[in-house]
Every structure is written in C-alpha cells, then in structure tokens.
Amino acid sequence: MNARVLLADDQSDVLEALRLLLKSHGYETEAVSSPAGLLDAVEAREFDTVLMDLNYARDTTSGREGLDLLTRLQALDSTMPVVVMTAWGSVDVAVEAMRRGARDFIQKPWENERLLTILRTQVELGKALRKGQRLEAENRALRDTEGPRLVSQSPAMQPVVQLIERVGPSDANILITGENGTGKGVVAQALHQASSRASRPMVTVNVGGLSEGVFESELFGHVKGAFTDAKTDRVGRFELADGGTLFLDEIANVPISGQVKLLRVLETGEFERVGSSKTRRVNVRLISATNSDLGEEVIAGRFRQDLLFRLNTVEIRIPPLRERRDDVSALANVFLRQHARHYRKPITGFDSAAMSALLDHNWPGNVRELDHAIERAVLMAREATVRDGDLALKAPRDGSARLEDMSLEEVEAFLIKKAMARYDGNVSQAAKALGLSRSALYRRLQRYGL
C-alpha cells in the first residue's frame, strides 16, 4: 500500500520491528522516539496515519503523556488517523484514548495481521475524509448558487434557448461561440442547470489565462515533489468536476501540447497527475467557449482538428448585443438592480431618455460593456429623483447637462471628469471608483481630451 506512517515509541527495538513489518507490506515509515519529535514531524510533513505509544519517559505506565499528546495532535490535524498502543492496556485507557480522537487501539505485544488490518482501514478512511473535506470546501467556493440569469426575450436569442432546452439534459460536449462579452459563461451555466448534473459542481477554467507550464497541473493536478514548487498534492480541475460539468473558456488559446493531453481525457476519461504514473478516471461533461473561428485555427495549424470534433458535438452561437436589441432594456434593468443593491443606491429604473440612449448605442463590448456602463452610472450617481413614478439617474445640480440628455460617450466623459475632480487628479483612485484599470482610464482620458 502506498501510504506514509509515522511511528512513535521510546523503545528503539519496537520502532525497528514496526519499520520492518510495515516496509514488507509496502508502507513508507518515519520513526520518532519522543512526543516532541512526533509533534515536529506532524507539523513539518503530511502522514496518512500515526501509530504511537501512549507511554513515554515522563510516566511509563498510566498513558497520561500519550493522552495529552493525542489532544495536541487533534488540534494540529483532526483528519489524520491515530492508532495508539501500549503494553499497559486497560479498558479505561482505551476509552479515554478514543474519546480524545484515537481511531483505534492495539495492545503490545501486537498480532501482525490485526495491526496491518487496522492500519489499512485507517489509511483508507483518512484519505477519504481528507478528500471529502477538501472537495467540500473547494466546491463551496466554486459554486455560484445564485448565478447570472439568462435574458433571452429577443428573436435572435430564441435559437439559443431552444438548443439549451434540447441538449442541456444530455451529456454531449458543447462548444459555445460568440464575440467577447456576449455571455458565453451565462449560457454554460444554463446548460449545466438544465442537465442531470445540476446538483454537482460546475468548475470553470479560463484556459486562455494559463501558461503552457501550468496548464497540465491546473487541469490534471500534480503530486508532491513533481516540480520545485509542488510542496503538496494538488487536485486538478477535472477531478473537481467529476460527476459534474467542466467549463473551459477561451479554448482556442490552449497550447498544442495541452491539446494532446486534453484530447486523451475527452476520448477515454483517463489522465495522470503531473509527477504520477497512476491513471485516474473521471466522468465529466465538457462545455467550452471561444470568440475565435476554430476552423480557421485548424487551417492555420494552431488547433487540432480531432480535438475540435470532440469539443463541438453541438455548437451554440451567441449573437452580439447589437443583434438582440430587444434584450437591452431587460439586461439594463437586471444590472441596475444588482449594482444599486451592491452600492446601496436608491435607484430602481431609467427614464425614457436614458433608455433611448442605451438602445441607440452599438455596444461593441456587448453585454459586458452594458454591465460596466450601468455599474459606473450607479456608482457615480449622487441623487435620484422620481420621474413618471420611477427613479431615474440624474447628474448633480451643478449647471452641467443632465445625464439623460447626453449620449453614452458624453455620460462617460462627464463621469470621468467628475471622478478626476473628486480625487484631485489621482488616476489610481479615480480608476478604482469608476471600476476601470489605470490603463483603461488613461485611454479614455486621451480619447476625451481630459
């Protein structure tokens, strides 16, 4: 069995006998002879289980020193199984040891078969407990229980909705295409929620942001010591998504070497962690997305044709926002409610002039641009007035034109000017207030001559 056991006893002959026994059955062992050595070892390295004596030099018969040690071990790592042993066993000591966290109890001199059975059981239970605890924590972080809502009122979005209804419940691999900012991640979430895997995690990876050096480790995981910074085992995204959905965004940017490894796991469901020869299997439904023409990428030799065939069992194209203007109003109101709630602003709607400006804009940045425009407007709004029974965004009463009378470019220039004035020309603070990067704000300052 490939497991690491920490042995603790103040008698060298006992440690040697245990080491030889466990080595003959495939265990890797490390031995210490004192409570201090035991604590130092557990703090420095990871073990699958601990086999420890209850009696040391301070008190050779009662087991109190070992019991106190048990309490400290539980504080360090409550998932690590501990098996205790003593030549002065009694029911009372055994009960107290179990109460303090020991998983099992064995009396010296031990029976080899019983000791091996106990260790095998505890190693398996410990690994299962650690894996379950780790996955539970990571899945809580990865799941978005509320998730963005798919707005699809326009005729241009109806084919998308119909495809989601038809292929969502299947396990077919889906390729989502469309310009940047069209909402490909929202469609992926809708597909996952429509599937039988909805109760399992949907794990998202922006593969376009992964360098070739970390791609394999990120997707397939690695084992401790696989490379310089691999100080512990790491679970890859395929394992995290086992039983659920894996969403790979910007799939066109996967390097050729990564495409080969990705093709294999799609064909067989098998892979190895970096630095390990152990083959693992997963059951994952793959959804990928790109804003590139993968057919052209194949012709150019930058993307494997066989991988493309595996990815696009069904292809869903998301139309740009300029082709679905009937959704602009609904999307704007969704974003307004979200940002008004987030920034605690008493704003609940748009007046007719503001909505006309939104509808007239071409939205080259698509839904993402609309979201950011609404967020900036909510962030910078200083007051709200009632108009036609609804709350409308208005500019401060400082003699400037009203926001609802401006074009979107004029609104943006106005808000940037106010932000720069508020922060005395400090670009970093103004950019943070506007939800922009410094470089993006510099570009806008140059564009508007500010």
Same domain, 361 and 407: yes
Same domain, 260 and 363: no
Same domain, 163 and 302: yes
For residue 326, what are the contacts with CB-CB under 8 A and spacing of at least 6?
A: 153, 154, 155
Same domain, 236 and 306: yes
**272 or 125, which is more confident?**
272
DSSP conformation letters of 243-288? TSEEEEESGGG--HHHHHHHHHHHHHSEEE-BT---EEE---EEEE
Same domain, 247 and 352: no
- Entry pTM: 0.57
Query: Does any domain span residue 416?
Result: yes
**pLDDT tens digits, 236-293:** 899 989 999 999 999 999 988 889 999 999 999 999 988 888 788 899 999 999 999 9
Q: Which of 284, 319, 354 is the last residue of a domain?
A: 319
**330 or 447, which is more confident?**
330
Alpha-carbon distance of 198 to 195, in angstroms, equals: 6
Same domain, 358 and 219: no
Domain containing residue 355: CATH number: 1.10.8.60
Structural domain count, the chain? 3
**pLDDT tens digits, 60-98:** 556 677 788 888 887 777 778 999 887 665 667 777 888
Same domain, 211 and 310: yes
**347 or 313, which is more confident?**
313
Same domain, 284 and 162: yes
Query: Does any domain span residue 247?
Result: yes
The Cβ-side half-sphere exposure at 362, using a 13 Å CA radius, reads 2
Specify the range with the lowest mean pLDDT, choosing from 189-203, 322-336, 382-396. Answer: 382-396
**pLDDT tens digits, 164-214:** 999 999 999 999 999 999 999 999 999 999 999 998 889 999 988 888 778
**pLDDT tens digits, 129-150:** 776 665 654 554 444 444 567 8
Q: Which of 304, 319, 334 is the last residue of a domain?
A: 319
Same domain, 68 and 187: no
**Beta-bridge partner residues of 3:** 27
Same domain, 16 and 123: yes
Domain containing residue 11: CATH number: 3.40.50.2300
Which domain range does residue 62 map to?
3-139
Same domain, 265 and 207: yes
Instruction: Please say whether the beta carbons of 26 and 2 come within 8 A.
Output: yes
Query: Does any domain span residue 145?
Result: no
Domain containing residue 201: CATH number: 3.40.50.300
Same domain, 409 and 377: yes
Q: Which of 256, 291, 319 is the last residue of a domain?
A: 319
